[in-house]
Amino acid sequence: MRFYLIFLVIILFSLKLFSQHSELGIGGGIAYYSGELNPSPNIMNKLRPTIGVFYRKNLNYRYSLRFGANYAKLAAEDNVKTNKEINFFEARHYSFSSTMLDAYGIIEFNFIPYQLNNDATSKVTPFVFIGLAGFYTNPEVGNNVSNTSYNTSITSLAIPFGVGVKSNFIQNLGLNIEWTYRKTYTDLVDGLESRHFNGYQLSNSQNNDWYAFVTISLSYKFLRKTDKCSFPIN
Q: Where are the domains of the chain?
A: 2-228
Alpha-carbon span 199 to 207, nearest angstrom: 19
Which of 16-20, 80-84, 95-99, 157-161 is least confident?
16-20
Res. 26: pLDDT tops 60? yes
The C-alpha angle with vertex 16 and arms to 111 and 229, in degrees rounded to 5, equals 75
Burial class (CB in 10 A: 0-12, 13-18, 19+), 112: middle
Interstrand relation of 173-184 and 148-151 (parallel, antiparallel or unpaired): unpaired
Residue 90: per-residue pLDDT:
55
The tens digit of pLDDT for each residue in 107-142 reads: 999 999 999 988 889 999 999 999 999 999 999 998
Domain topology for 2-228: Porin (2.40.160)
Alpha-carbon span 197 to 216, nearest angstrom: 40
Using 50, 70 and 90 to split pLDDT, how confident is the model at 24? very high
Alpha-carbon span 204 to 195, nearest angstrom: 9
Alpha-carbon span 126 to 98, nearest angstrom: 32
